Structure 1
Amino acid sequence: MTRDDDAEDADRDDTGGFVDEWEDHEHGDAEPVPESDPRHIDPAGDLADAVESGDLDLSLADDQDAEDLREFVDAAESGELGPADPGLEAQVRIARALLGDVDDTDTDDVDGDGDGGER
């Protein structure tokens, strides 16, 4: 009879840390990492995916200026906000999705009064 934690101990290295099962692979033949791997969770990217796919509906508030958002995207893309990281990339993706919605609304506003209605 074995204790339940004996099986868990088999996954530990000499120092008590868990053995990384991917360490044994050479760089050329490493297996792809599944999205469920906790070492590769990207909540900001997941949020951006949801916004881009339409699963999460966001829009600019009435008192927000789309031009400020465009300036943010331009600054991020030009490197003014520092080196790209997953969080910044997700913010830019979300900003682009919001701007796309603003641009779509502007083209629907044929009478030009800002309410999106027709003449």
Structure 2
Amino acid sequence: MLKIDRDAGGFNFIQAVNAKWDKVCFFGPYSTNATAKEVLGFDWDLEANSRINLNDGITLAVFTGDSSVVAYKEISRYTDFSQFSGECFRKENSEFEIKSGKVTHAS
């Protein structure tokens, strides 16, 4: 579980994940393997690797590189990234603003 403070201010996934990755994709509650394939562009067993298909209290961040998953983190909806479900962001564009648990993309 990736813990992010409700009032973190600027938050960049580059500093939070130590794997070599190119993009981060978000999956909201009740996402399935079919959703993962559609968003990622390749098969990945989201349902076996996470509780996201059963749990509405988390968002799943999946980090990819070279058409494979290199890391993934469940994020409590205490800081709610679920609004980005089905979206991917390139590593150089992975900064977000977090205030009172509300998350916006810092484009």
**TM-score band w.r.t. shorter chain:** under 0.3
Larger Rg: 1
TM-score (norm 2): 0.27
Q: Which has the higher strand share?
A: 2
TM-score (norm 1): 0.25
Q: Which has the higher helix share?
A: 1
Q: Which structure is higher in RCO with an 8 Å CA cutoff and minimum separation 6?
A: 2
